């Protein structure tokens, strides 16, 4: 049910909630800290309190969109034209222009309002969320849905959705500098009694049992009751007091603070901010601002053209000259440019949502298409995130291996075996024997052409890492030992994940981090899960959450008999080993010497080379009589440990990742994997998905050495040393958050455009530093989402590739409709300016197009095809060409030259048609006063206008089909098509554009022939033989555009060398077999300069193996 209440309505308390006990507060809010609110209570609270939103978050304002439509440069010119029309008593043209203004503003308002609504709904999907307990179950809801009385569960990285009274915390620390200005996080506690203290004497920063809306959890976890929402929260009070006071720098009017000139300076800058926002010059995406600036530059030239019209007519300003001057100015401005751009962007956002990508900032749509490098996490993004503990090395016991499990979450599936490693000499001898036997069997099978009888069957279980395993003496179903039991206790208790059997759905369910889930499932295999241990009396007394800077986590537990207090620690192997003083338990306990440490590291490498993520698990005894408090530094807890063993966790790559990396390679995008894993694990996975080549023998020694580095190695280099590397690392292992930021900086110094993924609080700086910050929707924290530009709802690497493809499609379409609109403007201006030379007997200009013809062409003819070009699907080769240069943007030299060539051709053809009709059969008779009304003397001029009107309309419309591809022939837009004549199929694919062109072409006939409409409104009349000139001009125009495209391909003008090399390789030999349109096909792939692309630092250009044959591209 939609909230109906007012956000200003809030619960009333006898005392402030921080002074009440949890029981008193629960009673006042009719909630339960165990089960939360019931469904009925939630509905009542929503009706009473409304949505949890601050003022200013209400979304789109209709009047702002309307003002934006009116402030459009084109509409301002139209308003001027309308005023002049009424001023000179031309009510027909004034009325038509009024209708055009209302239609243009109405359509623009409707489309942009709907677009903004869609954007609001999409932004809401990626806005902060809250974990709440309702009806006894955990739920994940948008923060605006939180109501007083809700039970909110907090974890590291969360943005707190409302003001909470905490009742359960575990090492909880919150960053409250947004409220208090204090840089240090505040440690929360729930035991302090504030009941008898004065509320006003205790500042919000000292109310340690409260957590405040908009603050972020930097450490630990906790739970609390929502006590205030919306504007009654502490942040809401600040927002209320600051409402309308937020100013940019130097906008103050204070003479006392900033000197006597500051009031004038501040007033001017404030006025400029208002004007700039109204005109669209200071608000919007970079491309929107550029196009708005372009519109006003064109407005200046439009006024200049109007002045020229007045000057040619000796400033004898009749109403016809005035309207023509304004109409000429209108012809200079692409009126629908900004509207088409907005709608194209919103269409892209909707399309990305369907590809599991939520766009938080429109500017990201512009940036994605030019991405040259992707820096991605491994776990859950490149890999499935569905982890399983495959190996467990326990000193003194051996290696435990899990096999045959089809469900990573089901501890009852598969078998566990114990393998005792043989000596190095025995292992090598057995491996040699096995290889010889395998070679013999292969030779035999090749001679007899027989398939092996026991060919393994594929299934859906997580794949085993492919490796040549070291021979072991294997024992099935090993017995429990004290070493194994201690290992399992540590794995289960130093763990926040849960594993449970859902009897109703007959399946196992898990919650928590995938790595911890894998360890928890492994412990459950032996009946030593966390829940089972808790029921036996294990009690947690302390916790030090995982910290990415130290890469470990610790918990402190009392044993069931309270005889011992144990510290359990898990984390990165190298970090844990540095803290260990011994290895193993009981008779197997030995001192941690350098030799022993090297042996452990060798075992870790063996596991890592199998693609396993390796963690170390350790413990130590803590004095039972020593009280555990949060004040004890973790360094004092995490020292003097005993290593219990290693865990080898396998996270299989996503099935689609390898193809996605290959797509990036073909698209000229380098993929970097930044992971916290061991270098061997990271390299194994990177090879498996194609980020680095499996065989690096063909690479130079320097390049091969730079492909995989640890964070320690990378961070140890100076910026100059990093810049001198032949290639930036494609894999960085043991990666820390600041390493990601350095990587982004290194890419920027190489003038590259980088996308960065992240999910944790500490990833926020690198997400903000990247050109495109990508947060994980499933595993990502609210802080990471808030710092990002886009959010992946499925945490899947292939979704990034899909987003880049959509970004490229949007960029291509923006180029297409910009070229289409500006081409028609250039063509009109050429015709109208040259037309000023046609003068009648009274030495007044005779206009080749009437003002209303100009308005019709600009408002109706050009607009709809431009919208259609914004809907074009992705080109067949969009991910087989290098990224475009974001620094150059849309207005490349190719676009500018195309615009001038096509526009001049369009203008010259229409001018030629007018000249032919007037100075051919018409003998140069320009009549008298033909700009005002029809007479027999004006018959030739009116017929010429009709022919020019029809011709210009058709040229603009047919140019939209031609501009579907800026370089390829219109008659073979998709060179991979086997269709002999694919033209109709290609143009019909975009149905909106198709019908815009077809219906726009047909509308010409009623405009030309309907009596009254033709002579009185459009100032033309019906024609006969003149149609031949208009139709002939269309064929000449198409031929001219095709020849220009052919010349660009033939001589390599504006060509991207890498793209042309790819086209030549992919389609050399696509031949002339297609018959009639072989010219179109062969000329499409005329040879251009070649080049090579360095892809992921591992290969040269796009070779035959990557491209395949032409039909597969």
Rounded Cα gap, residues 82 and 331, in angstroms: 15
660 and 613 share one domain: no
pLDDT digits (tens, 9 = 90+) for 983-1013: 888 899 999 999 999 999 999 999 999 998 9
pLDDT tier at 407 (50, 70, 90 boundaries)? confident
Mean pLDDT over 738-750 rounds to 93
Regarding whether 1038 and 967 lie in a shared domain, the answer is: yes
Which pLDDT score, from 0 to 100, does residue 448 have?
Answer: 39
Q: CB-based contacts of 935: which residues, under 8 Å, 6+ apart?
A: 927, 928, 929
Q: Report the pLDDT averaged over residues 924-940.
A: 85
Pick the closest to residue 799 from 349, 350, 353 (CA basis): 353
Domain range holding 577?
388-450+464-650
Return d(Cα 997, Cα 100) in angstroms, integer. 20
**Is the Cβ–Cβ distance between 718 and 659 less than 8 Å?**
no
Q: What is the average pLDDT value for the chain, to the nearest integer?
A: 81
Pairing of strands 472-476, 415-421: antiparallel
- The model's confidence at residue 8, banded by pLDDT at 50, 70 and 90, is low
The DSSP element (H or E) to which 131 belongs, if any, is: strand 129-134
Instruction: Identify the helix (H) or strand (E) that includes residue 634.
Output: helix 634-637
Residue 1005, in any domain of the structure: yes
pTM given for the model: 0.73
Which pLDDT score, from 0 to 100, does residue 695 have?
82
Same domain for 717 and 585, yes or no, is: no
Whether residues 988 and 1021 share a domain: the answer is yes
Q: Decide which of 778, 795, 812 is a domain's last residue.
A: 795
Ranges assigned E (strand) in 908-997: none
Pick the catalytic residue: 150, 158, 377, 763? 377
If asked whether residues 842 and 902 sit together in one domain, one would say yes
Higher per-residue pLDDT: 21 or 182? 21
Pick the more confident residue, 282 or 1004: 1004
686 and 821 both lie in a single domain: no
Judge whether 99 lies within some domain. Answer: no
Q: Which of 707, 715, 775, 774 is nearest to 745 (CA)?
A: 715
In terms of Cα–Cα distance, which of 840, 838, 860 is closest to 849?
A: 838
Predicted confidence (pLDDT) per residue in 293-332, tens digit:
787 788 788 888 888 888 887 787 777 777 778 778 777 8
Same domain, 787 and 818: no
pLDDT, tens digit, 9 for 90 and up, residues 903-919: 999 999 999 999 999 99
Q: What is the 3-state secondary structure (H, E, C) of 374-412?
A: EEECCCCCCECCCCEEEEEEECCCEEEEEECCCCCCCCC
Mention every residue, 6+ apart, whose C-beta is less than 8 A from residue 131. 138, 139, 140, 152, 153, 154, 155, 158
**Is residue 913 domain-shared with residue 1005, that is, in the same domain?**
yes
Domain membership of residue 853 (yes or no) is: yes
Rounded to an integer, the average pLDDT of 1019-1042 is 95
Task: Count CB atoms within 10 A of the CB of residue 1066.
Answer: 23
pLDDT of 524 reads 94
Largest CA distance in the chain: 119
pLDDT given at position 1106: 32
Q: How far apart are CA 563 and CA 625, in angstroms?
A: 10
> What's the Cα-to-Cα distance from 225 to each of 215, 228, 350, rounded to whole Å?
16, 9, 36
The pLDDT tens digits for 652-691 are 888 889 999 999 999 999 999 998 888 888 898 999 999 9
- Whether 73 shows a pLDDT value over 80: the answer reads no
pLDDT tier for residue 1105 given thresholds of 50, 70 and 90: very low
Q: In which band, very low, low, confident or very high, does the pLDDT at 424 lie, cut at 50, 70 and 90?
A: low
Kindly tell me if the per-residue pLDDT of 285 is higher than 70.
no
Active site residue 377: yes
* pLDDT cut 90: percent of the chain above it: 33
pLDDT tens readout for residues 425-477 = 555 666 566 666 656 555 544 433 343 444 334 344 444 444 444 445 566 77
* Number of other residues whose CB lies within 10 A of the CB of residue 632: 15
* Residue 94 belongs to a domain: no
Same domain assignment for residues 507 and 411: yes
3-state secondary structure 292-327: HHHHHHHHHHHHHHHHHHHHHCCCCCCHHHHHHHHH
In a 10 Å sphere around its CB, with 0-12 CB exposed, 13-18 middle and 19+ buried, how is residue 648 labelled? buried
Cα–Cα distance between 562 and 576 in angstroms, integer? 26
Q: DSSP H helical segments within 672-796, as ranges?
A: 679-689, 701-707, 711-715, 719-723, 737-749, 764-769, 782-787
Name the more confident of 145 and 784: 145
Whether residue 715 sits in one domain with residue 612: no
Quote the pLDDT of residue 195. Answer: 81
pLDDT at 60: 63
Is a pLDDT exceeding 60 seen at residue 1085?
no
In this model, does residue 247 exceed pLDDT 60? no
Segment 686-721, tens digit of pLDDT: 999 999 998 887 888 888 888 999 998 999 999 999
pLDDT at 486: 94
What does the alpha-carbon distance between residue 48 and residue 522 come to, in Å, rounded to a whole number? 48
Based on the fold, state whether residues 850 and 969 are members of the same structural domain.
yes
What confidence tens digit (pLDDT) does each residue in 411-420 have?
998 899 998 7
pLDDT for the residue numbered 241: 60
Residue 918, pLDDT score: 92
Would residue 250 count as lying in a domain? no
Residue 123: alpha-carbon gap to chain centroid: 12
What pLDDT is attached to residue 1090?
A: 35
Beta-ladder partners of 394: 398
pLDDT reading at 1047 higher than 90 = yes
Give the CATH number, domain containing residue 334.
1.20.1110.10
Residues 1039 and 1071 in one domain: no
Report the C-alpha gap between 753 and 127 in whole angstroms. 26
Percent of the chain with pLDDT over 70: 83
Residue 622 lies in a domain: yes
Query: Which contacts (CB < 8 Å, 24+ apart) does range 751-756 have?
Result: 752/372, 752/373, 753/367, 753/370, 753/371, 753/372, 753/373, 753/883, 753/886, 754/371, 754/372, 754/373, 754/374, 754/375, 755/368, 755/371, 755/373, 755/374, 755/375, 755/800, 755/804, 756/375
Number of domains in the chain: 5
Residue 1095, pLDDT > 80, answer no
CATH number of domain containing 223: 2.70.150.10
Of the ranges 270-279, 807-816, 1014-1023, which one carries the lowest mean pLDDT score?
270-279
Domain ends where: 191, 224, 241?
241
C-alpha–C-alpha distance, residues 944 and 1021, integer Å: 9
In a domain, 128, yes or no: no
- Which pLDDT score is estimated for 690? 93
In CATH, what number is assigned to the domain containing residue 538? 3.40.1110.10
More confidently predicted of 131 and 250? 131
From 603, 629, 650, give the residue that closes a domain: 650
Confidence band for 333, pLDDT divided at 50, 70 and 90? confident
Say if 276 falls within a structural domain. Answer: no
CATH of the domain at 658: 3.40.50.1000
């Amino acid at each position: 049910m939609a909230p109906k209440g007012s956000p200003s309505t809030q619960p009333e308390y006898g005392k402030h909630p921080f002074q009440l006990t949890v029981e008193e507060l629960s009673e006042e809010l009719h909630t339960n800290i165990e089960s939360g609110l019931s469904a009925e209570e939630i509905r009542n609270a929503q009706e009473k309190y409304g949505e949890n939103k601050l003022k200013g978050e209400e979304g789109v304002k209709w009047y702002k969109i309307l003002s934006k439509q009116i402030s459009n440069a084109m509409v301002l010119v139209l308003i001027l034209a309308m005023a002049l029309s009424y001023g000179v008593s031309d009510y027909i043209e004034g009325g038509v222009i009024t209708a055009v203004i209302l239609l243009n503003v109405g359509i623009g308002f409707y489309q942009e309002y709907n677009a903004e609504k869609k954007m609001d709904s999409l932004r809401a999907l990626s806005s902060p969320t809250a974990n709440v307990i309702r009806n006894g179950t955990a739920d994940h809801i948008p923060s605006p849905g939180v109501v007083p009385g809700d039970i909110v569960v907090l974890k590291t990285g969360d943005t707190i959705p409302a003001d909470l009274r905490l009742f359960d915390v575990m090492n909880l620390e919150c960053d409250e500098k947004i409220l208090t200005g204090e840089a240090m996080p505040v440690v929360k506690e729930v035991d302090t009694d504030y009941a008898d203290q004065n509320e006003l004497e205790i500042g919000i920063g000292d109310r340690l049992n409260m957590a405040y809306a908009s603050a972020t959890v930097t450490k630990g976890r906790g739970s609390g009751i929502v006590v205030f929402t919306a504007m009654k929260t502490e942040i809401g009070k600040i927002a209320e007091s600051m409402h309308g006071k937020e100013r940019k720098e130097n906008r103050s009017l204070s003479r006392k603070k900033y000197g006597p000139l500051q009031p004038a300076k501040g007033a001017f800058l404030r006025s400029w901010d208002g004007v700039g926002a109204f005109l669209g010059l200071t608000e919007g995406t970079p491309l929107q601002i550029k196009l708005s600036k372009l519109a006003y530059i064109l407005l200046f030239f439009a006024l200049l053209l109007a002045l020229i019209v007045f000057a040619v007519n000796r400033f004898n300003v009749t109403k016809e000259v005035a309207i023509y001057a304004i109409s000429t100015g209108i012809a200079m401005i692409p009126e629908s440019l900004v509207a088409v751009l907005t709608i194209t962007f919103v269409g892209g956002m909707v399309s990305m949502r369907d590809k599991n990508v939520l766009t938080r900032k429109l500017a990201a749509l512009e940036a994605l298409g030019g991405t040259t490098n992707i820096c991605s996490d491994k776990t859950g993004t490149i890999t499935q995130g569905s982890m399983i503990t495959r190996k467990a090395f326990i000193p003194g016991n051996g290696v435990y291996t899990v096999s045959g499990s089809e469900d990573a979450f089901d501890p009852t599936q598969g078998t566990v075996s114990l393998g005792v490693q043989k000596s190095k000499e025995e292992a090598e001898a057995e491996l040699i024997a096995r290889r010889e036997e395998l070679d013999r069997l292969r030779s035999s099978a090749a001679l007899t052409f027989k398939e092996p009888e026991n060919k393994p069957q594929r299934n859906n279980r997580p794949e085993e890492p492919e490796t040549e395993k070291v021979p072991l003496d294997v024992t099935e179903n090993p017995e429990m030992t004290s070493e194994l039991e201690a290992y399992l206790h540590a794995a289960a208790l130093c763990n926040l994940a849960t594993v449970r059997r859902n009897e109703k759905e007959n399946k196992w369910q898990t919650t928590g981090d995938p790595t911890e889930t894998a360890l928890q499932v492994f412990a459950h295999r032996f009946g030593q899960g966390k829940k089972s241990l808790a029921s036996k009396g294990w009690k947690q007394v302390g916790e030090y959450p995982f910290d990415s800077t130290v890469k470990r986590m610790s918990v402190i537990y009392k044993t069931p008999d309270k005889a011992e207090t144990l510290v359990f620690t898990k984390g990165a192997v190298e970090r844990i080993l540095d803290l260990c003083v011994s290895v193993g338990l009981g008779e197997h306990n030995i001192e941690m010497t350098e030799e022993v440490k090297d042996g452990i590291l060798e075992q870790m490498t063996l596991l890592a080379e199998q693609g396993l993520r390796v963690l170390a698990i350790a413990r130590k005894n803590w004095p039972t009589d020593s009280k555990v408090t949060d004040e004890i530094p973790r360094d004092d807890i995490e020292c003097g440990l005993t290593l219990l063993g290693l865990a080898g966790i396998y996270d299989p790559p996503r099935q689609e990742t390898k193809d996605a990396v290959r797509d990036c390679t073909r698209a000229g995008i380098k993929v970097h994997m930044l992971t916290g894993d061991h270098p061997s694990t990271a390299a194994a996975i990177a090879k498996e998905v194609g980020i680095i080549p499996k065989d690096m023998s063909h690479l130079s020694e320097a390049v091969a050495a730079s492909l995989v580095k640890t964070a320690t190695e990378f961070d140890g280099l100076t910026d100059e040393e990093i810049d001198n590397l032949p290639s930036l690392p494609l894999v960085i292992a043991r990666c820390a958050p600041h390493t990601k930021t350095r990587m982004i900086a290194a890419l920027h110094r190489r003038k590259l455009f980088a996308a960065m993924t992240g999910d944790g609080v500490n990833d926020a700086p690198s997400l903000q530093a990247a050109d495109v910050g990508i947060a994980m929707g499933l595993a990502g924290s609210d802080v990471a989402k808030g710092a990002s530009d886009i959010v992946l709802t499925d945490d899947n690497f292939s979704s990034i590739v899909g987003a880049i493809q959509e970004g490229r499609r949007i960029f291509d379409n923006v180029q297409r409709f910009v070229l289409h609109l500006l081409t028609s403007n250039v063509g009109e201006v050429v015709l109208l300016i040259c037309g000023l030379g046609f003068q009648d007997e009274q030495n007044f200009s005779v206009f080749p197009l009437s003002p209303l013809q100009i308005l019709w062409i600009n408002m109706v003819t050009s607009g709809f095809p431009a919208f259609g070009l914004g809907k074009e699907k992705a080109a067949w080769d969009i991910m087989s060409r290098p990224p475009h240069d974001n620094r150059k943007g849309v207005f490349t030299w190719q676009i500018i030259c195309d615009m001038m060539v096509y526009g001049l051709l369009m203008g010259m053809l229409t001018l030629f048609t007018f000249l032919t009709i007037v100075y051919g059969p018409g003998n140069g008779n320009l009549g008298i006063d033909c700009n005002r009304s029809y007479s027999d003397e004006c018959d030739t001029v009116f017929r010429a206008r009709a022919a020019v009107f029809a011709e210009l309309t058709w040229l603009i419309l047919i140019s939209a089909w031609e501009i579907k591809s800026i370089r390829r022939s219109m008659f073979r837009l998709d060179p991979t098509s086997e269709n002999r004549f694919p033209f109709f199929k290609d143009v019909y694919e975009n149905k909106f554009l198709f019908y815009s062109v077809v219906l726009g072409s047909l509308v010409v006939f009623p405009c030309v022939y309907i009596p009254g409409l033709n002579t009185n409104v459009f100032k033309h009349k019906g024609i006969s033989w003149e149609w031949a000139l208009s139709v002939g001009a269309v064929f000449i125009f198409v031929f001219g555009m095709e020849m220009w495209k052919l010349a660009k391909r033939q001589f390599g003008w504006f060509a991207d060398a890498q793209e042309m090399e790819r086209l030549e390789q992919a389609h050399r030999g696509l031949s002339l077999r297609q018959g009639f349109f072989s010219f179109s096909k062969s000329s499409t792939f005329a040879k251009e300069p070649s080049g090579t692309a360095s892809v992921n630092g591992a290969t040269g250009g796009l070779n035959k193996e990557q491209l395949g044959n032409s039909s597969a591209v």
